[in-house]
Chain A
Amino acid sequence: MKKKWSAKLVLIIFIALAALAVNWVKPLKMGLDLQGGTHLVLDTDMGQIDPADRADALNSVKEIISRRVDLYGVAEPVIQTAKVGDSNRLIVELPGITDVDQAINLIGQTAQLDFRTDIGSESAAASPSAYVFASTGLTGKDLKKAGVSFAQSGNQAGKPVVDLEFTGDGAKKFAAITQANVGKPLAIFLDEQLVINPIVNEPILDGHGVISGNFTSEQASILSIQLNAGALPVPVSIISQTNISATLGVASINQSVRAGLVGLVLVSAFMIIVYNWPGLIAVLGLIIYGLITLALYRLIPITLTLPGIAGLILSVGMAVDANILIFERLKEERRADRPFRLALELAFGRAWDAIKDANVTTIVVALILINPLNWQWLNTSGLVRGFALTLLLGVLTSLFTGIFVTRTLMRQFLKGDHD
């Protein structure tokens, strides 16, 4: 008796083929350790900064540049501060990039932001060029971040506005400036260019300013990007650029890939020996798991490093877990003399509770570390975020292959006379 192929099976074959196609067409981004990349040296101009604050300023340049090149922690750059004599420099290494312009684009405008007050005659308000501006000492260094939100009340209610959040120091300066300039403009300059010239409505003491001005949401978001991009505390220039080789030799990479293959063969053999036909189906599920994960890495794209390969190989071991849970359950149900079909459905049903609770916790832990809402008190960049993102992808993919794929295959191909 031959059963017709179910729609689910067709879907699985389609997804596996699509993943295979992606793996075929799209290249995998490889990290500095596997492929090398660009090594840039940035110099900062600390002339305006008090010597005692220079280390802090350099660190904040580092943070901002990290955020620009590696928002989700998956690009795997190396960003380090470097001191040579009196100069405060930053080393930025970007994997897989050999073109300077591309690198500079990634680092973004190295613009400088500052706030200025109008000291010209007030009657000149008709044209902005008539203003005479004076620096207030409030600069990009004091701005923590800018963002877009919607006004809650007043005549602007429901319209997009730009929120400013200042650092502790910045909040104090901002409070003093707004107190002294109620009803007057406070201009924002980016690299000597006037960006916007909003009027101070009231003194703002808590370091949270709002710029409203009949913006469309697009205008508001452009302005907030400009403000964030300009939030570098000091001028920065690229002083040297060179390409670097991979940190690891080819030998080391080959060794690890071979080790991974040996491990995969061991796991497959183990599964087939212990669980027979269901074990073989689990191995098929694992192959599909590998294809989908690698396809996602190429699409996002996630930069693959040697430790990333090790993590991926480990996640294969963890992906088997759902199968082992189900198969052990299946054995128990069979021992209780249930017919194969019924035992199979019961095993999937009962194992699901455990799988669900165990995976919900992992998913939430991963989400907390990814911090998708960009809460400032959690990670907003860097390696922990990237790690959590790959963990999340691994769990979701393994749920799909461990449950949906293996169940469909088992329903389709196993009749129960082989176990």
Chain B
Amino acid sequence: MPKIQITDTRGLEQKVGTGVVIDSSVDSTLNMDVHSVITATSQHSEAGKLSVKIEKGIHHYPIIHTGPADAGSLATGARTLTAVNLSKGHCTVTANATSVAVTMPTKAHIIDLFGGSSNITVGDSIEWSLHNAGTTVNQSLVLTANTGQVVPANIAGKVGANAADASSATVGGSSTGIFKTRVTNVDGSTKTLRLA
């Protein structure tokens, strides 16, 4: 099998092996399409020194993301999230009681979510948000553990109602929580942190 290697010192070479190796800078003036994983770690990665950088120029911050439409409310009342739900990145549930459980997916769903048992890796993480579409004050969503899934305690696991008035004593903050779920075991166990 041919392996293509390009270096600054010797130019283009064909060797035994597979894949393409470029030991040099690469400039693409048009699009770059990668149909699998993009890995962006420095060979010299070390603790306390950031090594992954996406240079977007000085004019703007946001990256345009192409993705699916919002799925709408998944349930009125308790809901167990699925791989498909989390893959959308934004889950909406409508609280209809004081504390409505939104249960993390099963291990099997987590494995599916992260590409199946051949791909799931400890350290793989996603950020996702949970919105409470309920409008009644004091009816919160409560993120709840499933087997193997660790979730935050107390208000870090709660998402308040999307009530009409944000300035009264009983309605404050946002009705959407942002979470990060990180794989801690390839059996589908995770730990979830509240990011905002």
A interacts with B: no
Question: Interface residues, chain A, CB within 8 Å of chain B?
Answer: none
